[in-house]
Structures are given as C-alpha cells and as structure tokens.
Copies of this chain bind each other. A is one copy, B any other.
Amino acid sequence: MSAVALEPDQAVAAAAGAAGEWAEQKPAVRARALTAVADALEAERAELVALADTETRLGTTRLNGELTRTTFQLRLFADQLLAGEFLDVRIDRPDPQWPSGPRPDLRRYRTGIGPVLVFAASNFPFAFSVAGGDTASAWAAGCPVVVKAHPGHPELSRLTARIIHRALAGAGAPPGVFGLIEGEQAGVDALRHSSLRAAAFTGSQRGGLALARIAAERPEPIPFYGELGSVNPVVVTPRAAEARGAEIAGGYVASLTQGAGQFCTNPGLLFVPAGDGLLDEITRLLAEVPAAPMLNERITDAYVDTAEGLARRPGARKVVWPDDPAAARPRLLAMELAAFAADQKKAAEECFGPLGLVVTYERLRDVTDAMAALPGQLTAGLHAEPDEADELGRLAATLADRSGRVLWNQWPTGVAVTHAMQHGGPYPATTAPATTSVGTAAIERFLRPVAYQSWPQRLLPPPLRDDNPWKVPQRTTGFAPTRAD
C-alpha cells in the first residue's frame, strides 16, 4: 500500500461524507475544481508522460496526445457545468385545470447520485485512468470519486492522485471528493460498500461481468457502467474494394496495429468480397508491420493465447503469423463467411491486441444476416461508394442496431471527445447500452432526478428557485408541440 492510497472503507466513507456538499455546490465551483486539476496535470506533463512511458511502453508521442485529451476532457466538462443544462430543470406551476386533475407546483432536477467507484483501465493510462473520463464526468455530475488504480501503471496512478489531491485542495473542494485505492480485493470491497452509489469500468469482458454481478448482488444493487470492448466489425462492399482497395487495405492495417492493437475500438473483424485481392493486399501490408511492445508481459501472453485459440476455430486459416509463436507481432486470420456464420459466437470473440480476422463473402446480403446475429458492438463500420444503394439501407440499419457508433469510410480507433460522441453499445460491448463513457453525455450516468412538490422557495435547491440564482436553464413550458406538422 502506497502513502497516497487509502483503505477502501476509508475512501468510500470519505466520499460519502463529501457527497452532499459537492453535489449541492454551484456548478461553477465544481467547474473551477475540474479546471484546477487540468491545470495541475499540464504543469507536471513532462514527469507524468515520462513515468507513463516507463510503465506502459506506449511512447511519448501517444502519451502526450492522450494527456492533452485528458485535460481537454476535464475542461469540456467544466464548460458543460457552466452551461447548466445537465441539471434538466423542469418547473410545472400549479394548474387547477390540468386535464388529468389539479397539478401542484412541481420542480424536478437531476443531482449527483452519490459516491462513484471508477475502475481504471490499463490501455489508456491517462484518458481512462485516475483522472480520466469516468472521473471527470462523475465529478461534473456532483459525485465524489474513488478510483481503483490499474496495476499496470501503479506509480503513474499515485503521482496522478497526488496532483489531483493538491489541485482539489487548492480549489477548495471538500476532502473526500477524490480517493485512490489499490488492489483487486480493495476494488471489490469498495464495490460492496453500502455507501457506494454507482461504479464505472473499462476493461475486459471477463473482469467487467464479474464486477457487474457483484454490483447487482449487493443488498442494495447499484448501476454498473461497464465498457467491455468488442471486435468492431467493418464491412467493405465489392464496389468500394474495387475502387479503393489499396487505400482501404492501408487504412485497415494502420487502424488494426495502432497502439499495438490495444484499443477497445480495434477493428478486429473485417468482411471483404472473396477473390478481389483485398485480402492479399492486407496480407502484404500487415506482414511488413513490426512487433510493437504491448503494455506488459501478461497482456502479451493473453494476446498470443487468444490468437492461437481463434486460429484453431473450424475454417480459420493463418494468413500472417510469426514463426516465433510467442512474438507480439500482428497476426491475421481468414475465414469464409459460411464457416464464420456457423461458429460466429466463438469466432467473433475479442482478442486484445493486433489480431485481425478477415471474413470473405460472396453476397453482401449474407453479411447483413451475419451482422444481425453478432453480439453488441461499440462500433461498426462500412466502406462503400457514395452512390451505392442495393442492400446498403438494410445493412446500415443492422449496423446501427448492433452497435453504438457507425462509421462510413473511416476506421473506429480514435474516439473523439465531443458532444455527439457515443462510446457504448448493446450488451456485451457494455453493460448499460443507453449510456456513453466518452463525450459530454457521459455525465448522465451519474445523475439522479428528484422532484420537489409545493416546496417553499427558501428550502429549494438553488436551480429550482424562481429567482434562479445560478442562472441555469429552467424549462417551464413542458414539451408542447411548437412545430407545424
């Protein structure tokens, strides 16, 4: 146990102690705290990136970019706090003529759900770790956060925690708004703590589902927002393959091997027309990509094991495969669609690392059928020509039905932090398909509505008061249809 890490009981109890004050503060106060954390991380950038590189081998270019994304994310949530719309304030004034019976004075807003436990991920030591998106969005919602550090970057987690503690104290945040815990058992103990109100997780299906079960089996079950990864299928139409085969092959290989394939949006499953040369081109390009160091030996071993297991599925052919069976090199399997469709549940299993499975097809409509039977995905992609029409409507609808984000002629790695981003998807890509863990909508996971009926002005939360001291948007007219139709 390091000097900065807390015992789980201590961390959750401190979070519970801070929850009321933190949630009730003016959004601008929390915005200042988030900005202070962003500033403090920027001030220690050189040390943070160097330490992260030592612990994750991801390289300083990528890590600098990731830290920029992380501090931007904190500032974006600070902006969202100042806008105030996340409170979703609704005010219904008394109406004795309301058609379903007299309407009392009703005022509803959303407030922080309470202490949140964040399980940090290994593959994004900044953006999905101690000061990452889950932490930022939970803080923004008004929730104290306990982070369970990922053992893949322990010293970076502690340094980040110390920087956060100093920044929050400087910004006047109540103690308990942030706490770090370490170790698998500590994470489970915190998840079972009676004062905890929600948890967020980014990582493997196996780990995530085990934790989701613990959250569901507590005496008081709590929401568990697990982002568990997927194979992110991509379909290339015959016409796109013919028109832009080389470009598509290059884009695919770059996306598949980016960051040693260690992204939850890695395009692990590609559907290409049989016999058009696209598979050959991908094979040629991928064979030239050298091994990149993976996060650690455990992850490398798991990658190699999973890849070998997939290679033994019926109908799978090794197309690009290293002579050294233990090498962390990119690998490529190929399969015909019929074989894939017959074994799809196993063949479409996620392999964390630079492994691609290319499925060759004869008829595009068979791909649509296979796609409809796939488990839920974070993303699904389509490479087609702008003027194609046959089959594309049904295929596009199927892609949108089975995933949270669909892409046209682009690759899924790289998740922009924006207002319209959706980083989620049907089970088992996530455990909560109606939510996102990236983008400003991520705040919605940590809010809980409360309505005040006929409550006196002076005891109302400030955003619900008539004098609106925080100047937040107040919806007082319902959703009456305002548009000609």
Bound CA–CA A478/B409 (angstroms): 25
Bound CA–CA A80/B448 (angstroms): 22
The reply to whether A452 and B410 contact each other, CB–CB distance below 8 Å, is no
Q: What B residues does A400 contact at CB under 8 A?
A: 111, 450, 452
Interface residue tally on A, bucketed by range = 35 or more
Tell yes or no: A414 within 8 A of B by CB. Answer: yes
Interface string of A71-92 (1 = CB under 8 A from B): 0110000011111111000111
Bound CA–CA A223/B418 (angstroms): 26
Per assembly, the copies of the chain total 2
Tell yes or no: A107 within 8 A of B by CB. Answer: yes
- Name A90's closest neighbour in chain B (CB-CB): B420
The reply to whether A418 and B92 contact each other, CB–CB distance below 8 Å, is yes
Bound CA–CA A9/B435 (angstroms): 29
Question: Which of A83, A98, A421, A475 has the most CB atoms of chain B within a 10 A radius of its CB?
Answer: A421
Tell yes or no: A424 within 8 A of B by CB. Answer: yes
The reply to whether B104 and A416 contact each other, CB–CB distance below 8 Å, is yes
Bound CA–CA A420/B98 (angstroms): 13
Minimum distance in angstroms from A354 CB to a CB of chain B: 21
The reply to whether A479 and B83 contact each other, CB–CB distance below 8 Å, is yes
The reply to whether A421 and B216 contact each other, CB–CB distance below 8 Å, is no
Bound CA–CA A426/B113 (angstroms): 10
Beta-carbon contacts under 8 Å, A374-388 to B: 375-376, 386
Q: Which of B85, B101, B104, B449 contacts A424 (CB 8 A)?
A: B449
Minimum distance in angstroms from A264 CB to a CB of chain B: 15
Minimum distance in angstroms from A105 CB to a CB of chain B: 9
Minimum distance in angstroms from A445 CB to a CB of chain B: 8
Tell yes or no: A65 within 8 A of B by CB. Answer: yes
The reply to whether A422 and B440 contact each other, CB–CB distance below 8 Å, is no
The reply to whether B416 and A98 contact each other, CB–CB distance below 8 Å, is yes
Binding site for B on A (CB under 8 A): 20, 24, 28, 65, 68-69, 72-73, 79-86, 90-92, 98-104, 106-108, 111, 113, 216, 220-223, 375-376, 386, 392-393, 396-397, 400-401, 403-410, 414, 416-422, 424, 426-428, 431-436, 440-441, 447-456, 459, 471-472, 475, 478-485
